[in-house]
Amino acid sequence: MNPVLQRLTRFVTARETGILLALVIVVAITTIVNPRFLFSGDGFRDLLLTPSILLLVAVGQAIVIITRNVDLSVGSVLGLSAYLTGRVFIDLPWLPWPAVFLIGILFGGLLGLLNGALVAFAKVPSLVITLGTLYAFRGINVLWTGSDRINASDMPTDFLALGTSALAGIPYLTILAIVVLVIAGWFLRTQRAGRELYAIGSDPSAAHLYGLKVTQRTLAAFVVCGALAGLGGVLYAARYGTVNSQAGSGWELDAVGAAVIGGVAIFGGSGTVWGAAIGAYLLLTISRALPVVGVPDFWQGAVVGALILGAIVLDRLLALRTARRLRDVHARERKEVTS
């Protein structure tokens, strides 16, 4: 088979392609019902902009899930980081505003380090640890924020502009999210450390026997996930202009949902951040499309749920089919060898 055709085949059969197709169909149908959904300045911008922050968080989540862990605290980390961003503008007005990005990323990374350390050293499943830190971080947020909230007037206009404006029709936020996505995707695919994350998630005890640095890599995955949620918090402040103590609550489920819809196996070892990113777009685009096509609000949760269940069932079916195919191929090869 020639290389171009081979690449094309791989693209068409990739798990991510199916999700991309679903996204295209959703956009197409909604646009037919209401052309403004895509063919208007705001419509096109929102299509790209709305899922951008979730994309970042979902990429971090996917990295953690690939190692057979999960980080449920990302919504709380995002909320804390968003409020911190506002406080930095109010309390340290002399600081050049781009510095908040660094602060948000470091802060999120630190919270991720805490999660990772608890998981790696206390040997408690990450589901339990991060469920705990989900509430703990949110509690700290409520304690700190109280009934206060950050308003748009507290933040520099340049910073706020970043959250909504665009370069050649593509929002800055989306550009940033894609850059992060490309780097993460490249790293996971081409670097030894990236491949080891898959190995660890595929069989943790084999990874240990193999002599891989399981603890170190797991820790790093949580730090990256936290840092991306921290970055997401900064962008949240820029995008929405107001931050109260509930910012980002529920995002952890959207992030896990996006990763699962995008084909990241919940038991680790397979899937890509590309899938998770497309999953984030599909998840939020469907939520926005439903009212346009006339589906009442209260059905939205059910549709998202059906989407996640559908994705899981699809993955299971694909996995079973692959396993059967691999077994058959194998049996055939063995027959040839022995005969």
Partner 1 sequence: MSDTEQHGATPALELSHIAKAFGAVIALTNGTLRLERTSIHALVGENGAGKSTLVKIIAGLYQRDAGDLLLDGELVDFRSTAEAKAAGIAVIYQEPTLFPDLSVTENIFMGRQPRGALGVIDRRAMRTEALALFDRLGVRIDPDRPTLGLSIADQQIIEIAKAISLDARVLIMDEPTAALSGVEVERLFAVSRSLRDEGRAILFISHRFDEVFDLCDTVTVMRDGAYIATSPIESTTVEEIVRQMVGRDVTTLFPKLEAEIGHDVLVVEGLTRPGVFSDVSFTVRSGEIVALAGLVGAGRSEIARAIFGVDSYSAGTVTLNGDLLRRNDPASAMRAGLALVPEDRRQQGLVLESSVARNATLAIRRTLAKFGLITDGLENASARIWASRLEVKTSALDTEVGTLSGGNQQKVVLAKWLATDPKVLIIDEPTRGIDVGTKAEVHRLLSELAQQGLAILMISSELPEVLGMADRVLVVHEGRITADVPRAEATAESVMFAATHSEAAA
Positions in the binding site for partner 1 (CB under 8 A): 190-192, 195-196, 198-199, 201-203, 205-213, 265, 269-270, 322-323, 326-327, 329-330, 333-334, 337-338
Q: Give the residue with the Cβ less far from partner 1, 33 or 326.
A: 326
Q: Give the residue with the Cβ less far from partner 1, 45 or 195.
A: 195
How far is 255 from 57, CA to CA, in rounded Å?
6
Q: Give the residue with the Cβ less far from partner 1, 316 or 334.
A: 334
CB within 8 A of 30, min separation 6: which ones? Answer: 37, 38, 289, 292, 293
The residue among 45, 80, 56 whose CA lies nearest residue 276 is 56
CB within 8 A of 202, min separation 6: which ones? Answer: 68, 268, 269, 270
Q: Give the residue with the Cβ less far from partner 1, 79 or 201.
A: 201
- Coil, strand or helix: which one is 181? helix
Q: Give the residue with the Cβ less far from partner 1, 153 or 190.
A: 190
Smallest separation, CB 297 to partner 1 (Å): 39
Smallest separation, CB 17 to partner 1 (Å): 19
Distances (CA, A) of 295 to 173, 226, 300, 302: 29, 35, 8, 11
- C-beta separation of 166 from 172 below 8 A: yes
Encoded tokens for 299: 């059905």
Give me the phi and psi of 166, to 5 degrees please.
Answer: -135, 160
Smallest separation, CB 246 to partner 1 (Å): 38
Number of C-beta neighbours around residue 310 at 10 A: 12
Smallest separation, CB 329 to partner 1 (Å): 7
Smallest separation, CB 182 to partner 1 (Å): 14
Q: What's the angle, vertex CA 322, arms to CA 321 and CA 323, rounded to 5?
A: 90
Residues of the chain by 3-state class (helix, strand, coil), percent to 5: 80, 0, 20
Q: Give the residue with the Cβ less far from partner 1, 102 or 323.
A: 323
Smallest separation, CB 190 to partner 1 (Å): 4
Smallest separation, CB 265 to partner 1 (Å): 8
Q: Give the residue with the Cβ less far from partner 1, 144 or 210.
A: 210
